[in-house]
């Protein structure tokens, strides 16, 4: 970020000419002093001094809440000043100031410090803000303040929020030129024109979408290049202006937009809102210098998202997806279609990026399937057709590894009490109780769900969960129990209300009895959905889907080029791992 010292000469940078004219020649110094006065007034809980910097028509924006006017802002400060507790002070980091004509802006990361009695100061919050100021005599007043979270706090969204909008016909002169530039950007973006999309950006641009990393010209170019090259999805954007103010060679834009993504799995829409700072260069071109934006509404809030696209979910066949308690390691399967070989993999999260997966050291020789962690992450369950005591039993049995420092122990077979015929999936509750799926007899095609209690360090004789869960002709391949044993996620074949060959269902434990499985209709498709898990915090469901070219509606016959391209893509009909909010689960039936 450019420092304040650079922006003392902002008028020259924006083509304003010489910095003469006595009282008006250094708006940056004036504005900086006003912020210093504001900080002092805030620390002293001086309400009148705190409000002095704001114009009567000020509007303050923060994600997840309605815009605040001057009265709402005054009430907020009154409430804050009346609070008893550690003293609080704000500190701006890298305060950047720009001015032209009657408009100015500031950009800063603001940190809130709470000062204890012993003088120790702790950072409570970090926000990034853009303030837009208007000349008021020899001083400046904040007319718009736009703030987003910068420290990883959750950004609240609401589809009930009504946002202001104006007709573009109301824009004149510089404001109209900026709007026309923004519309050219939209057309270039929707047309996958990389050069046209990048054209309005200043080379020194920086911006931030709440919850994401800082955007630069290089990162934006990389993102657009990757997006435009994708053949399995189409993105488009439609803008609604809220306000454009321009003075001299500086312009301020408030707007919101709807982005639509179309894939073989369907269509999703998100509405975002932003503030932008534009400047006109020596050639008379308007360039985007800074922006802040945030998600207002995800119209498809429960839309499944692919886990680590291109790294974990790839054109290969993946399924599973069990996260460690710290959410920094994931275990999953890759198979060789049609399931001649199953292999187990792990990937580690460094920063915000999943790393290239590695084959688990004890997997790769036999068919090892469905790794599932215990709730505390100390045990790893899976099924395998590997030999037991040197004997090849020609079926799957349940195995377990235990955490030993930074590695896993050698797999241990769970023994004859659990492994009777053929076992296909296992999961563990917090108390150690085991839930698994198995055939009810040798060479039987029916697969049922069983439970075994963990008592005095041993597993008791498994109990069939009964006809509410199991039934003739129903093949319950997977059964994942919630840590508290309140519900069971099942991946069956053959249920009469299934929409695909395999769907995901949920059954609730109601006073010790399991309810009839209910389909998770929000995620089930004509493709196979299977291999359910929960994230460690219980807020999201992880599952596998084979949605793609095999089940998507295709209005015309496939061309050779289309078929070859799609069959090599993520949408080739092999398994990918998805994540979705736990809110997609149907509510428990009345007891």
pLDDT in tens, 556-591: 788 888 888 888 888 899 999 999 989 999 999 987
- Residues 248-261, mean pLDDT to the nearest whole number: 96
Fold classification of 4-149 (topology level): Nuclear Transport Factor 2; Chain: A, (3.10.450)
Residue 14 has pLDDT above 50, yes or no: no
pTM over the 0.85 mark = no
CATH for 305-584, options being 3.40.50.720, 3.50.50.60, 3.50.7.10, 2.120.10.30? 2.120.10.30
Residue 10 has pLDDT above 60, yes or no: no
151: number of Cβ within 10 Å: 12
pLDDT grade, residue 491 (50/70/90)? very high
Fold classification of 168-298 (topology level): Nuclear Transport Factor 2; Chain: A, (3.10.450)
* For the chain, percent of residues with pLDDT exceeding 70: 93
pLDDT grade, residue 234 (50/70/90)? confident
Kindly list the domain boundaries of the chain, sorted by start residue: 4-149, 168-298, 305-584
Residue 2 has pLDDT above 60, yes or no: no
Collect all residues with Cβ–Cβ distance below 8 Å to 585 and sequence separation of at least 6: 487, 506, 520, 541
Chain-centroid distance of CA 213 in Å reads 12
The pLDDT assigned to 443 comes to 64
Strand pairing of 353-354 and 358-359?
unpaired
Instruction: Report how far residue 381's alpha carbon sits from residue 493's, in angstroms, rounded to the nearest whole number.
Output: 22
pLDDT grade, residue 264 (50/70/90)? low
pLDDT grade, residue 22 (50/70/90)? very low
- Residues 424-432, mean pLDDT to the nearest whole number: 97
Instruction: Find residue 206's DSSP bridge partners.
Output: 216, 290
DSSP 8-state secondary structure symbol assigned to residue 1 = -
Collect all residues with Cβ–Cβ distance below 8 Å to 350 and sequence separation of at least 6: none
Query: Which tokens go with 503?
Result: 């769907």
Residue 219 has pLDDT above 80, yes or no: yes
Q: Are 168-298 and 305-584 equal in CATH topology? A: no
The pLDDT assigned to 21 comes to 41
pLDDT tens digits for range 332-388: 999 987 767 999 999 999 987 899 999 999 999 999 999 999 999 999 999 999 999
Residue 152 has pLDDT above 90, yes or no: no
Collect all residues with Cβ–Cβ distance below 8 Å to 186 and sequence separation of at least 6: 237, 238, 239
pLDDT grade, residue 8 (50/70/90)? very low
Mean pLDDT score of the chain: 90
Nearest Cα neighbor of 146 from 253, 30, 219 is: 253
Looking at mean pLDDT, say which of 119-123, 162-166, 427-431 comes out highest: 427-431
Residue 15 has pLDDT above 70, yes or no: no
DSSP secondary structure string for all residues of 393-404: -SS-EEEEEEEE
Nearest Cα neighbor of 240 from 292, 325, 182, 284 is: 182
DSSP secondary structure string for all residues of 68-100: B-HHHHHHHHHHHHH--SSEEEEEEEEEEEEEE
Using the Cα atoms of residue 518, residue 520, residue 522 and residue 526 in order, give the sign of their dihedral: negative
φ and ψ of 168, to 5 deg: -60, -20
């Amino acid at each position: 970020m450019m420092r304040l010292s650079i922006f003392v000469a902002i008028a020259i940078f924006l083509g304003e000419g010489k910095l003469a004219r006595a009282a008006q020649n250094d708006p940056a110094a004036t504005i900086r002093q006003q912020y210093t006065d504001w900080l002092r007034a805030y620390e002293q809980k001086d309400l009148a001094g705190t409000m002095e910097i704001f114009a009567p028509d000020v509007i303050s924006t923060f994600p997840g809440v309605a815009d605040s006017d001057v009265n709402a802002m005054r009430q907020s400060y009154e409430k804050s000043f009346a609070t008893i507790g550690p003293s609080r002070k704000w500190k701006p980091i890298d305060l950047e100031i720009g001015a032209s004509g009657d408009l100015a802006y500031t950009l800063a990361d603001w940190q809130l410090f709470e000062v204890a009695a012993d003088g120790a100061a702790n950072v409570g919050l970090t926000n990034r803000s853009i303030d837009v100021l208007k000349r008021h005599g020899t001083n400046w007043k904040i007319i718009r303040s736009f703030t987003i979270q910068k420290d990883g706090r959750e950004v609240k969204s609401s589809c009930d929020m009504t946002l202001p909008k104006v007709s573009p016909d109301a824009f004149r002169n510089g404001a109209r030129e900026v709007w026309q530039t923004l519309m050219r950007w939209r057309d270039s973006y929707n047309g996958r024109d990389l050069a046209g999309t990048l054209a309005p950006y200043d080379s020194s641009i920086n911006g931030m979408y709440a919850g994401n990393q800082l955007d630069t010209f290089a990162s934006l170019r990389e993102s657009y290049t990757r997006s435009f090259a994708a053949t399995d999805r189409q993105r488009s954007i439609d803008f609604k202006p809220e306000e454009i103010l321009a003075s001299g060679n500086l312009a301020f834009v408030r707007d919101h937009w709807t982005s639509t993504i179309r894939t073989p799995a369907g269509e999703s829409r998100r509405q975002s809102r932003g503030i932008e700072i534009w400047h006109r260069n020596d050639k008379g071109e308007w360039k985007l210098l800074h922006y802040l934006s945030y998600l207002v509404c995800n119209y498809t809030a429960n839309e499944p998202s692919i886990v680590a696209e291109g790294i974990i979910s790839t054109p290969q066949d993946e399924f599973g997806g069990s996260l460690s308690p710290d959410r920094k390691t994931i275990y999953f399967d890759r198979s060789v279609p049609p399931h001649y070989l199953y292999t187990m993999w792990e990937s580690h999260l460094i920063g915000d990026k999943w790393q290239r997966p590695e084959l688990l050291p004890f997997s790769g020789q036999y068919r090892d399937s469905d790794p599932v962690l215990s709730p505390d992450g100390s045990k790893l369950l899976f099924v395998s057709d590997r030999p037991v005591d040197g004997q090849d039993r020609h079926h799957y049995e349940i195995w377990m590894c235990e955490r030993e420092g930074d590695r896993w122990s050698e797999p241990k077979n769970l023994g004859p009490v659990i492994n009777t015929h053929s076992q296909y999936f296992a999961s563990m509750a917090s108390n150690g109780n085991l839930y698994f799926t198995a055939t009810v007899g040798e060479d039987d095609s029916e697969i049922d769900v069983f439970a075994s209690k963990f008592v005095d360090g041993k597993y008791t004789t498994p109990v069939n969960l009964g006809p509410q869960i199991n039934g003739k002709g129903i093949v319950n391949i997977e059964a994942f129990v919630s840590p508290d044993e309140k519900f069971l996620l099942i991946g069956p074949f053959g249920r009469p209300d299934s929409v695909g060959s395999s769907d995901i269902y949920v059954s609730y434990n109601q006073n010790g009895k399991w309810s009839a499985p209910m389909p998770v209709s929000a995620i089930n498709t004509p493709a196979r959905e299977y291999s359910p898990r929960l994230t460690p915090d219980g807020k999201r469901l992880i599952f596998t889907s084979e949605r793609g070219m095999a089940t998507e509606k295709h209005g015309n016959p496939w061309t050779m080029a289309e078929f070859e391209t799609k069959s090599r893509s993520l949408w080739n009909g092999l398994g990918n791992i998805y994540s979705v909010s736990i809110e997609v689960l149907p509510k428990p039936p009345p007891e």
